[in-house]
Amino acid sequence: FEFMYGRTFTKWWSASKTYGPTVKHLMRVFRFKLALVRRARERWPKFVSFEEDIELRKPKWNAKYSERPGVEKMLVVMWDMTGIDAYKFSSAEDQRDTYSKYYAGNKFKGGIGTQLCGYGVTWELWTGHCSDSTYHEESGYLQEQEEFQKRYLVDGEIVRFCNVHDKGYRVRAANERHGNQLTAQPVFGKSDLRFK
């Protein structure tokens, strides 16, 4: 815990001095615990099923996304990116790869999704230099959503994902390529209309 979150120990030798085991043994225990956490996380489903989403979400979402005649069932996920500070690298190549113009600094970026019921999804970190649209197309969560919607049928039919994005994304075509997923994106100006 202390190493993962940097609470008290930041160096192996100080943990070894405090607790007694050698640095080698402490590192082995730490790697074992991280592997255990990773295996546990990989067993959880990446997304919540349509039935669970309907059951667990707040009633206010049902006004917009409820089951009504003529309204398609959909799994709504609101996607955005987060920027995590990276220290300044000594290598010029690493500086270039992690520099984000948007944040005006070195960053790592990761996808964060939230379903209407509040279930949170985090995706892998990439270097800050890539655009949000590139991350969306190439990080793999669209493929995961496509597989998920094929596996979890409702009344024998596919319930498509509807990905909600902010204005920085250009992703409609990528969503359609992966299982004909839907896109909801606010229009902030006339220039955004040409991307619809």
Range name among 14-18, 34-38, 70-74, 132-136 with the lowest pLDDT average: 70-74
> Residue 132 in contact with residue 81, Cβ under 8 Å?
yes
pTM tops 0.85, yes or no: no
148 confidence band (pLDDT: 50, 70, 90)? very high
Contacts of 196 (CB under 8 A, 6+ apart): 172, 187
Residues composing the chain: 196
Instruction: Give the number of other Cβ atoms within 10 Å of residue 98's Cβ.
Output: 21
Q: Can you state the percent helix, strand and coil of the chain, rounding each to 5?
A: 40, 20, 35
Chain centroid to Cα 193, Å, comes to 26
pLDDT of 115 above 90: yes
Confidence band of 74 (pLDDT split at 50, 70, 90):
confident
pLDDT of residue 60: 82
Taking residue 36's Cβ as centre, other Cβ atoms within 10 Å add up to 10
Pick 99 or 88 by higher pLDDT. 99
Strand pairing report for 120-127 and 105-115? antiparallel
Write out the H or E segment, with its range, that includes residue 114. strand 105-115
- Find where tokens 């707040």 sit: 58
Q: What percent of the chain has pLDDT over 90?
A: 12
